[in-house]
Amino acid sequence: MHEGSAAGPADDGMRDKCGVVGVALEERGAARPCYYGLYALQHRGQESAGIVTHDGFQQHDHVKMGLVGEAFTEDDLDGLQGENGVGHVRYPTAGSVDKACAQPFTVSFRSGSLALSHNGNLVNAGEIREELAGEGHAFTSDGDTEVIAHDLARNLLDADLVRAVKRTMDRIHGSYALTVMHDETVIGIRDPQGNRPLCLGKVDDGYVLASESAAIDTLGGELIRDVKPGELVLLEPDGSGYESYQLIEQENTAHCFFEHVYFARPDSVIDDELVYDTRRGLGARLWEESGVESDVVMPVPDSGRAFATGYAEAATEELGDDAPEFAEGLMKNRYVGRTFIMPTQDQREQAVRLKLNPIRSTVEGKTVTLIDDSIVRGTTSTQLVSLLEDAGAAEVHLRIGAPEIVAPCYMGIDMASREELIAAGQDTDDIREVVGGDSLSYLSVDGVAEVLGESRADLCLGCVTGEYPYEIDGETTDRDVSRPEIEGAVADD
Ligand code: AMP
**pLDDT by residue (tens digit) across 43-67?**
999 889 999 999 999 999 999 999 9
Does the annotation list 460 as a binding residue? yes
Q: Which residues are part of the catalytic machinery?
A: 18
Nearest ligand 1 atom to the CA of 303 is 12
Q: In a mutational test of the pocket of ligand 1, which residue from 257, 374, 426 has the highest number of ligand atoms less than 8 Å from its CB? A: 374
Amino acid sitting at position 150: H
- 467-476 confidence digits (pLDDT tens): 999 999 999 9
What's the chain's length in residues?
493
Does the annotation list 191 as a binding residue? no
Share of the chain above pLDDT 70, in %: 92
Find the mean pLDDT for residues 381-396: 96
Q: Which residues pair with 273 in a beta bridge?
A: 270
The CA 340 to ligand 1 mean position distance, Å, reads 6
- 146-175 confidence digits (pLDDT tens): 999 999 999 999 999 999 999 999 999 999
Nearest ligand 1 atom to the CA of 375 is 4
Query: Which residues line ligand 1 at a C-beta cut-off of 6 Å?
Result: 262, 300, 303, 338, 340, 372-381, 413-415
Give the SS3 label for residue 221.
coil
CATH no. for 5-254: 3.60.20.10
Please tell me the predicted confidence (pLDDT) of residue 216.
98
**345 has a pLDDT exceeding 90:** no
- 241-294 confidence digits (pLDDT tens): 999 999 999 999 999 999 999 999 999 999 889 999 999 999 999 999 999 999
Task: List, in order, residues 6 or more apart from 160 with CB less than 8 Å away.
Answer: none
Query: How many other CB atoms are found less than 10 A from the CB of residue 467?
Result: 15
The CA 416 to ligand 1 mean position distance, Å, reads 10
Nearest residue to 109 via CA among 58, 53, 153: 153
Residue whose CA is closest, atom 18 of ligand 1?
Answer: 415
**492 has a pLDDT exceeding 50:** no
Instruction: List the domain boundaries for the chain.
Output: 5-254, 273-454+460-467
Give the SS3 label for residue 104.
coil
Q: In a mutational test of the pocket of ligand 1, which residue from 18, 262, 350, 404 has the highest number of ligand atoms less than 8 Å from its CB? A: 262
Does the annotation list 101 as a binding residue? no
Please tell me the predicted confidence (pLDDT) of residue 415.
78
Find the mean pLDDT for residues 410-438: 93
Please tell me the predicted confidence (pLDDT) of residue 350.
78
Does the annotation list 55 as a binding residue? no
Please tell me the predicted confidence (pLDDT) of residue 117.
97
Q: 273-454+460-467, which class in CATH?
A: alpha beta
Cα–Cα distances in angstroms (integers) from residue 32 to residues 46, 52, 53, 179, in the given order: 18, 11, 11, 17
Please tell me the predicted confidence (pLDDT) of residue 344.
74
For residues 42 and 46, give the distance between their C-alpha atoms in angstroms, rounded to a whole number: 6
Please tell me the predicted confidence (pLDDT) of residue 98.
64
**pTM, rounded to two decimals:** 0.92
